[in-house]
Amino acid sequence: MKGAVLMVLSLVAVALGGLALVSTLSKPSLDSIILARDLAISATAVATGIVAPLLHRKFTEDSEEKDSNN
């Protein structure tokens, strides 16, 4: 159940980050600081959505291995 919730939240993060990225690139701000901020937020959302399930899988596998060794 936890894995399914994590996957849904990760997909939402990737989708919202992608939408924000498309929005930022389709009508960029004239202020370079605002543009950089918007791009950074979008990239962070996409990266978080991609990396979170990978890290979750890695750390749950490590804890399962420790539990099985004890």
pTM here? 0.79
Instruction: Give the phi and the psi of residue 27 in degrees, each rounded to 5.
Output: -140, 80
Domain ranges of the chain: 30-70
Instruction: Give the phi and the psi of residue 44 in degrees, each rounded to 5.
Output: -65, -40
Provide DSSP, 3-31.
HHHHHHHHHHHHHHHHHHHHHHHHS--SS
Select from 57, 58, 65, 50 the least CA-distant residue to 3: 57
**pLDDT tens for each residue of 41-56:** 999 999 999 999 999 9
Q: How confident is the model at residue 70 (pLDDT cuts 50, 70, 90)?
A: low
